[in-house]
Amino acid sequence: MADRTSHQGVTAPGYTAAEQNIDNTTEDISHKARGHKANLSNPNTSEESKEKSRQALKELGGEDAFYGKQGKGE
């Protein structure tokens, strides 16, 4: 049986794009953004880690990455 584990940048032969992209729903992106935002406000986090979180938030779409900011669930 094929391994269905999805890792960023890795594709699994025999699976559709939707199956491989299962963790990129609006809610999943919002959860990732919340984690990075929490990292930015953590006083125990290094500047290098905070910079990586700033970049990740930018790549996720900035403030628009948060589920509630898209007019859903309000």
Q: What is the pTM of this model?
A: 0.60
Is the pLDDT assigned to residue 4 strictly greater than 50?
no
Distances 73 to 29, 52, 57 between C-alpha atoms, Å: 15, 29, 21
Any idea which residue has 């491989």 for tokens? 20
Q: Are 54 and 40 in contact (CB under 8 A)?
A: yes
Q: Which helix (H) or strand (E) holds 12?
A: none
At 16 the pLDDT is: 76
Contact 20, 11 (CB under 8 A): yes
Residue 1 pLDDT more than 60? no
Mean pLDDT of 19-43: 86
